[in-house]
Amino acid sequence: MKGYLKTIMILLVFTIVITGLLGFRGIPFQTAAIVDGGNVEKELVGNLPMEDVVEDLQELPDGFEDNFHEGSYEDLVKEDLQEKDEDTVENEDVKVAYLTFDDGPSPKITPQILDILKDYDIKATFFVIGDLAEKYPDILLRIHSEGHLIANHTYSHNYKHIYSHPKKLIAELEKTDELFTSILGSQYKRSSFMRFPGGSFGEKLKPFRQAVTAAGYINIDWNVVNGDAEGNNVSPEKQLKRLQETLQNKREAVILMHDSNTKQTTVDALPDLIEYIMSQGYVFEILDESNF
């Protein structure tokens, strides 16, 4: 009898200990199962205590919240990890954001953009229209004196004229360069960057691209947008969404925006756009000829 009792006691104690262990570990495992989805958790969670992970998840950038209905955060991270084409990088690499503003200067919008850039201590690139620089030379001087890059966006921005013949396009670029020098002084060193009004895409513009290169310009389009030219008064929320859709962890993000007279919502959106880009680990630079 004594032997049976001893065995039962041992089994009882063993069962209590096992139940206790499982009970203790049960909650964290369940929590982990919610957060972890496979290999991704190693990237996402690492060895962090669970509270830190929960905190991290709560501090996700705003854009992820909008995407939650389309899939879990793990799915988004998986997608990110799988997307390893040339244009994307691991987090430890430096990512550069080039803010570019086209179609100014404008007396209403450009000074507000400059104020915001000054607040954030960010330098940007302005693709200036010659005709407007001639009208508002003081704003051109301010862009230049505050350390931003001035680049060429033709004199007239008139598609019919500039795209009627490559020579017309080159003549407008040269006229605009001369104008920049006349406003900014002979010490001004002109940038080689130019941007085609409407972009340089398509077979039709091939002879124009060739002419521009032959004339010593660096033609630069964009690979990220805030969508401020995709309608009138595009809301700041929509602009942030378009930025998030197109930024996608690109190593070099050339971001197209506008500082023409009607773009007040671009001013309104800009602080949030900048904050989002910063949250994604980017540094801001002006276009650099050695990189393009």
Q: Which is nearer to Zn ion, 257 or 286 (CB)?
A: 257
157: nearest Cα among 105, 218, 210: 105
Q: Which of residues 192-211 bind Zn ion (CB under 5 A)?
A: 197
Catalytic residue among 103, 148, 258, 259: 258
Q: Which of residues 212-251 bind Zn ion (CB under 5 A)?
A: none
Q: Which is nearer to Zn ion, 56 or 131 (CB)?
A: 131
Q: Which is nearer to Zn ion, 103 or 285 (CB)?
A: 103
172 in contact with Zn ion (CB under 5 A): no
103 in contact with Zn ion (CB under 5 A): yes
Min dist CB 198 to Zn ion, Å, is 7
Answer yes or no: 258 catalytic: yes
104 in contact with Zn ion (CB under 5 A): no
Answer yes or no: 87 catalytic: no
102 in contact with Zn ion (CB under 5 A): yes
Q: How many residues bind Zn ion (CB under 5 A)?
A: 3
Q: Which is nearer to Zn ion, 103 or 228 (CB)?
A: 103
Q: How far apart are CA 211 and CA 199, in angstroms?
A: 15
Q: Could you give the residue numbers annotated as active site? A: 102, 258
* Binding region for Zn ion (CB under 5 A): 102-103, 197
